[in-house]
Amino acid sequence: MMPRFPDCFPAANTEGLVYPAEYENFEWTTSFFSGMLWLLYEHTGDPVYRPILQKHLESFYERVEAPGSLDTHDLGFLYSLSCYPAVLLQKDPRAEACFLKAAQALRSRYFPQAGIIQAWGNLGDPQNRGRMIIDCLLNLPLLYQAARLTGDRSFWEMAYCHAKQAQKHLVRPDSTTYHTFYMDVDTGEPRFGRTAQGYSDSSCWARGQAWGVYGFALSYRHTGDRSFLDTSCKLLDYYLERLPEDGVCYWDLHFTQGSEPRDSSAAAIVCCGILELLKHLPLTHPRRMAYEAALNRTILALAKGYTTWNLPQADGLLLHGVYSKPDNRGVDECTIWGDYYYIEALFRLLYGSCDYWY
Ligand code: GLY
């Protein structure tokens, strides 16, 4: 992909298995290509990745100064995979300054009364005011990391409060999840759940559940709050119960058979979540062997049945992902985050961890 995207980014999803090029660094997904290249650079040391990674860094430095592009909680996805590896691997001061600016922007989206970070839009937008979403759990590492880098505990506290509120309101009593949930930001009272990308308000969007499995495991790692580990396990148990024969979920866990599209990207995220969980669960944990078996089964299913290895015309990696079924967007295509998390899972299997989220 490097020759195809020398000074631009692959779009969020393929069209006919080929990624259109994106010349503006605007979407929430641009950093996944950087993340893949950082993983490759970290583990091979090959200088071939340096010039393109430097270009990506410059693009993210510019982005953090463009006010319109900061009206989102996705700063975590964006900066934990672009600038943070440069901080972690190279102690790059410019990358660190940029990373901390992104963390400040994310912190400014926090509503203290409700204890949550608003996901989308500017904070005055009536449609999105006080709306949190399950995906945000993957944006919290940015705050936890910023707290460590600066010694300013307020970053950590906001991330921790948000994770607690997500656990309380986005997770339903039966261990399924809402995609999004509205809080009253003035009184702090919970309002109601709504889907955006799932089948219905009461169903369980597969990728949301996957963000929950991985995200709560990461919040455990950053806070030591064992209840996050339990929540991650419960979400995973529900997810595993809803899998079809080959172990790769449908786009919404409402479906367990039939011809609805799968979402392989959710499966790849769950693999990373299981790999993170296994680092923290005691060897005697009653579900440990079941999780190891689920991980092996899923990775093999993805590798054998869901990769483009025998499709030279494709430049994506993981087939049969879905961006948004209700919007008919990127359905049965490769997604750039599906490709990234598949690679992250493989690198975790090979090298034991991926510290970009830590
Ligand atoms: N975070 C957006 C998505 O999963 O589609």
**Along the 358 residues of the chain, how does pLDDT read in single tens digits?**
999 999 999 999 999 999 999 999 999 999 999 999 999 999 999 999 999 999 999 999 999 999 788 889 999 999 999 999 999 999 999 999 999 999 999 999 999 999 999 999 999 999 999 999 999 999 999 999 999 999 999 999 999 999 999 999 999 999 999 999 999 999 999 999 999 999 999 999 999 999 999 999 999 999 999 999 999 999 999 999 999 999 999 999 999 999 999 999 999 999 999 999 999 999 999 999 999 999 999 999 999 999 999 999 999 999 999 999 999 999 999 999 999 999 999 999 999 999 999 9
- Per-residue burial over 31-68, b if 16 or more Cβ lie within 10 Å, else e, is bbbbbbbbbbbbeeeeeebeebbeebbebbbebbeeee
How far apart are alpha carbons 31 and 319 in whole angstroms?
20
**Angstrom distance (rounded) from CA 55 to CA 61:** 10
| pLDDT score recorded for residue 68 | 82
Distance 283 CA to ligand 1 centre (A): 32
CA gap 239, 176 in Å, rounded:
8
Residue 207 near ligand 1, beta carbon < 6 Å? yes
Ligand 1 close to Cβ of residue 263 (< 6 A): no
Protein residue closest via CA to atom 2 of ligand 1: 135
CA distance readout (Å), 321 to 111, 248, 334 = 33, 10, 5
Which residue's alpha carbon is nearest to atom 1 within ligand 1? 135
State the pLDDT at residue 67: 77
Q: Is the CB of 73 under 6 A from ligand 1?
A: no
Percent of the chain clearing pLDDT 90 (strictly above): 98
Among 28, 195, 270, residue to substitute to test ligand 1 (most atoms within 8 Å of Cβ): 28
Residue 208 Cα: closest atom of ligand 1: 4
Residues with a known catalytic role = 74, 135
